[in-house]
Structure 1
């Protein structure tokens, strides 16, 4: 049995960088414990506040943010935290080399119905500033709080998955995730179809046509509404996740945040052999202009991403 500590010790990375993964794992274990009791303790409702994006915060959004901040504050190798729940970066009282950007509780709108939610994070070199493209990430990962608590991470070359055991230790369950190039599943919110651009409508229409259309095979649609849950499924068995630019979110640049949603998920998918695009370029090539910048995100099986890119190339 290989634990997260064993796996990290075997990686060719700086000890400080490995410690950041350990810190995020510890924060995830604590959040998992809080979530298990949330319905009993009455913590699934709104906190009565909004975040910088103008979204209503759930009580557990605030609690999860406090947990992450507390754990990060105890790691001398981390000097900056960027969080979805905080307007400004937090500069910690040390000279640590690393910056963590995080969505402490992705998918919190699903808490009332006990659907998988998660914690997403990205690790960057703090000495290179706040606004770095995803290609500069030193590591990334997420925790998925579902029937089991999963911890999926990468330092770039490979993506590995761990599962929390009954003693509170993460155990390696998949040493190298592999997203198949071809797939027959796609994840998109079809309630927004009237808002989609031509490329998205064209790609989805081909999938709906199944064997009778140009794709030549039958597709299934899956949509949880929690990015962690949808991307976790893709990392486990393939598929494509789509939150494209549409007529409603175009003014904001998209729906998902680049630094702590799009970038870490794109790095994980790439490490597993998949690909990502905004429709115009790889998500990892976008140079951010703001810590809370939004972008369109399409990622998953490489062949499916290529089909989406081909639709955008048609103009």
Structure 2
């Protein structure tokens, strides 16, 4: 009989690998999984419970807020603000640091998250997801501070994402490899389906929005054109437009995911589009834990010290061989 491992069991077994573990991180991650189940149910029923469409507001990033964005935000906040695990939170949907109500104990962790990545696609039934990451707080006690949230990815203690698609899958790492769990709706549990998986050394898929190619730098354009030649493979282009879904496929099948600088977009000229805290750093952490590489094109994503809660960066991640080839194109252009 196949061994059945729930996410709770896996969290406890992983906790035992660290002799100094207190169980607080395990409890925090367990609380998060409950929030993910609630969001998954809402995503699956969105067309039946008036959860599609826009709420009528614009968030800090300039995106139109969908009804499911707000719902997912509220579920995570209300699920995590009272357990005594976090001192503060930061969300892609909120302009400022999220404080913990006075009546609740303040914990030793900081939670940052994108409650519903790819929500612009939800009305078309395209896969969407949640991204999260966890740091130790820097301050001693009490309410968390902005400095607690503005930490580089190389200090992460855990990160993960959830894909809400044909099935709901949670992928996470606490620094001991990357593990995937599929939600079994018949029992309401996330069950281990992908244990300690590694990204392939080289892939045959590239994932990038080529509609923005006129705004890329020259080496990036030349690299993508190279991928279409017989010399390179050729590669197949696959781009969903939901970061969680595109990165998830890249982790499983290998290849390269790109969100390069776009020099024609005035609102974030040359900065990149993805948020460092909520998207780039957590995904970079997972990709590196799976044996891959994540870079901005200039530097390792996990080494970037954030200066703003909504700082944007370019992002290129994927299989080691594919990223190394991309980096050669960038280096040749600078020579």
Q: TM-score, normalising length from structure 1? A: 0.96
Q: How does 1:42-57 map to 2 (within 5 A)?
A: 42-57=50-65
Matched, 1:267 2:285: yes
Residue 252 of structure 1: CA displacement?
6.4
Secondary structure of the corresponding residue to residue 246 of structure 2? helix
Task: Provide the C-alpha distance between the structure 1 equivalents of 2:307 and 2:270, rounded to a whole number of angstroms.
Answer: 13
Task: Provide the C-alpha distance between the structure 2 equivalents of 1:291 and 1:307, rounded to a whole number of angstroms.
Answer: 32
Residue 157 of structure 1: CA displacement?
2.7
Matched, 1:112 2:123: yes
Task: Report how many residues are paired.
Answer: 311
Matched, 1:227 2:243: yes
Matched, 1:5 2:8: yes
Task: Provide the C-alpha distance between the structure 1 equivalents of 2:325 and 2:28, rounded to a whole number of angstroms.
Answer: 36
Task: Provide the C-alpha distance between the structure 2 equivalents of 1:66 and 1:95, rounded to a whole number of angstroms.
Answer: 19
Structure 1 gaps, min length 5: none
Q: Which moved more, 1:222-231 or 1:12-21?
A: 12-21
Give CA-to-partner distance per residue, 1:163-200, whole Å, 9 cap, x none.
00122111001111110111111100011111111121
Q: How does 1:128-277 map to 2 (within 5 A)?
A: 129-165=148-184, 166-209=186-229, 211=230, 213=231, 215=232, 217-249=233-265, 250-251=268-269, 253-277=271-295
Task: Provide the C-alpha distance between the structure 1 equivalents of 2:76 and 2:106, rounded to a whole number of angstroms.
Answer: 19
Give CA-to-partner distance per residue, 1:200-250, whole Å, 9 cap, x none.
1011011011x2x3x3x2210100000000011111111111000121345
2:136 to 114, 119, 125: 125
Task: Provide the C-alpha distance between the structure 2 equivalents of 1:302 and 1:228, rounded to a whole number of angstroms.
Answer: 19
Secondary structure of the corresponding residue to residue 138 of structure 1? strand
Task: Provide the C-alpha distance between the structure 2 equivalents of 1:152 and 1:145, rounded to a whole number of angstroms.
Answer: 12
Secondary structure of the corresponding residue to residue 288 of structure 1? coil
Q: Provide the residue aligned with 2:145 in structure 1.
A: none
Secondary structure of the corresponding residue to residue 41 of structure 1? coil
Residue 42 of structure 1: CA displacement?
2.1
Question: Are the aligned partners of 1:140 and 1:153 in contact in 2 as well (CA < 8 Å)?
Answer: yes
Q: Provide the residue aligned with 2:76 in structure 1.
A: 68
Question: Are the aligned partners of 2:262 and 2:271 in contact in 1 as well (CA < 8 Å)?
Answer: no
Q: Judging by fraction of residues, say which structure has more helix.
A: 1
Task: Provide the C-alpha distance between the structure 2 equivalents of 1:102 and 1:252, rounded to a whole number of angstroms.
Answer: 24
Residue 305 of structure 1: CA displacement?
0.9
Question: Are the aligned partners of 2:89 and 2:149 in contact in 1 as well (CA < 8 Å)?
Answer: no
Secondary structure of the corresponding residue to residue 138 of structure 2? helix
Residue 74 of structure 1: CA displacement?
2.7
Residue 38 of structure 1: CA displacement?
0.8
Q: Provide the residue aligned with 1:308 in structure 2.
A: 326
Question: Are the aligned partners of 2:203 and 2:255 in contact in 1 as well (CA < 8 Å)?
Answer: yes
Structure 2 gaps, min length 5: 140-147
Q: TM-score, normalising length from structure 2? A: 0.90
Secondary structure of the corresponding residue to residue 172 of structure 2? strand
Residue 25 of structure 1: CA displacement?
1.0
Residue 27 of structure 1: CA displacement?
0.8
